[in-house]
Amino acid sequence: MAVPSPILFFFFFLIYLAYSDNTQFIFQGFKGTSTANLSLNRDSIITSTGAIRLTNFTKKSIGRAFYSLPLRMFDAHSQSASSFSTNFVFAIVPLDPESGGGHGFAFTIAPSKELPGARYENYLGILSPKNNGNLSNHIFAVEFDTVRGLANDINGNHVGIDINSMNSTVSKTASYYANHTHPEEVLKLESGTPIQAWIEYDATQKTVNVTISPLFVPKPSRPLLSTRVDLSHILKDTMYVGFSAATGKLADSHYILGWSFQMNGMAPTLNPSRLASLPTPEKSENARKEGIKIGAGCSASTLVLLVIVVCISMYCLQRLKYKDVLEEWELQCSHRFAYRDLFKATKGFKDSEILGSGGFGCVYKGVLPTTKEEIAVKKISHNSRQGIKEFIMEIASLGRMKHKHLVHLHGWCKRIGDLLLVYDFMPNGSLGDILFNHKKSGILSWEQRFRILKGVASALLYLHEEWEQVVVHRDVKANNVLLDADMSARLGDFGLARLYDHGKEACTTHIVGTLGYMAPELSRTGKATTHCDVFSYGALLLEVACGRPPIDLNATSNQALLSEWVRECWAAGCILEAADPKLENNYVVEEMELVMKLGLICCQKMPEARPTMRQVTCYLDGIDLLPSDISPEYLSVYGNKLFADSRSSSMGFGGGSSGISCGTMGGGVISSGSLKGGRY
């Protein structure tokens, strides 16, 4: 039976939506959470009225505002630059309306948000005399300049298209065409009144169009500038879009009042009634009055057109409201992958590519079709509420952290019911897998184990003290320590992590973790602190040294709890008997004893008595020696005695008691199953 054509159309329409790779955003002013996806540098700020002020009346100033995430500018199939369009409203307010100011600003597409070495005045904070005109710049800009500075500037009120140079490829006096029969009307860029601009690149025709008009005049059908240029030779695969402005010996204030952008389509129309308003500084009062006069002089026909534009804009905005609008958490990660690329990379998420599975989904091995880079793709069920929380937390934390001993998060993807995270591929799997399945990959030498432990300690020190916020991992264990090609440690799986500001107290939360690694105070306070990570790290130290899990129900009763057994061996004067027998005594005795004793110290029952990760790294690096008064007599048996003499001995780890608890069972929720190859 033939399938009805409407059903076929709907089917192909769904396929188009699933595989379209459009990027879209819209700012109706810049207030509240919308500013989270903006990157401001140099002199640019957000004003109290919700406008971006790129520069003020300061001489020789530079200000920039870029969309914080890089955009993919190339079509994955044709390897050519994709079409794009942008619509924004700006205002240039001179210090002195009579004599004017300088200079202008430019809509800019650049490989970097910082543009190091860029100069002010005619270079608009984009380029400098040293690199002006270099093919390696990869710069596309449309300048709105108020000074005739460089040799080919036609006047002090022009719009120009710049390719790798501030000497415009094509330029024209700022003006607009009200209609086909109406003559060209000049627009003064430095009028202090809002002006709207449209910039469009047609990848098929290889054409750039630039159009401007006063705010309350509909978009003219005839562009001001139109030139043929193939941006495939100019742009890189990923670029940043935004604005850059500069002043010189004289100064203007440059404002952006609203902005929208669309890849492979028309940018959403801005609603004039929702745009940010201009501040009213005393020095620009004349310019404001001039703007009021111009607005009051609009004809009745223009007002009718305005009503039509507003109605159409509201209708379009209502339709676009739920079309591919990025959620706030989606803006925390540096790169959004196309679903089709990850589908190809994992051979259609084939079962043979599964590295492991857990409570929230599977991890697949993949090879990116463009770069041939090996990756690991974590696929989380969108129907799992806890899975979504874990997904968002990994983006919010790991997405912005950079450390050589943390798993690198490349990016993310969201499609219908699938949430995907993309990481470095770790060819040697997890530390836990190698420790307990050594037949598969060989036995780790002591030198490798000691280096891995130092790497994890370095990562935890970064999380606790060196990043912009305090990060409590909450699930430090052997299966979450992944090993790269050089057998270097990479701490992964930040789905349970919690963040809080330095100097602040951690909040009460759900008790989560893995049995054997959870600090005992969690069952009492519910607060995940850095002390809890230290406890888990202590359990990891013992696990790596002894080659046994923290809790082993298959062992004899006196060896079931690893920390208690190591303590008893130490008390009997034979601590090395607890060392992993698979090492066959091939280890440095002093290092082995240090790791075991430090593991017990980190597992003390009193959180204040545990060392910080900075102290731990000092011990492992040999910078400091363990306190000489540590002895097994001060270590407690799990669940029984507390401290032998908590008043008479102090270990110097924060003013707490010196007693040590070897127990690791604290109640609470056990984390989801570990991935076969380690959790990413």
Alpha-carbon distances, residue 644 vs 182, 605, 649 (angstroms)? 96, 13, 9
Q: Using the structure block, give the residue that is written with the tokens 């030139």.
A: 227
According to the annotation, is 676 in a ligand binding site? no
Q: Which of 162, 475, 533, 580 is catalytic?
A: 475
* Interaxial angle between packed helices 589-602 and 530-546, expressed in degrees from 0 to 180 and rounded to the nearest 10: 140
DSSP 311-349: HHHHHHHHHHTTSSPPPGGGGSSS-B--HHHHHHHTTTT
Q: Are 40 and 254 in contact (CB under 8 A)?
A: no
Residues 675 and 680: their CA atoms lie apart, in Å, by: 8
As given in the structure block, the two tokens for residue 16 are 């188009």
Residue 495, Cα to own-chain centre: how many angstroms?
Answer: 15
Residues 370 and 353: their CA atoms lie apart, in Å, by: 19
Q: Is the dihedral of CA 515, 519, 525, 526 positive or negative?
A: negative
Side chain identity at residue 109, one-letter code = I
* Interaxial angle between packed helices 613-620 and 446-461, expressed in degrees from 0 to 180 and rounded to the nearest 10: 150
Please classify residue 646 by burial: count the beta carbons closer than 10 Å to its beta carbon, then call 0-12 exposed, 13-18 middle and 19+ buried: middle
Question: Nearest-CA neighbor of 601 among 558, 570, 646, 635?
Answer: 635
Q: Are 247 and 226 in contact (CB under 8 A)?
A: no
- The total of other beta-carbon atoms located within 10 Å of residue 541's CB is 28
Question: Nearest-CA neighbor of 139 among 153, 125, 159?
Answer: 125
Is 475 part of the annotated catalytic residue set?
yes
- Residue 582 contacts by C-beta under 8 Å, 6 or more apart in sequence? 438, 443, 547
Residue 249 β-bridge partners: none
Feature table: binding site for ATP: 379
Which residues are tagged catalytic? 475
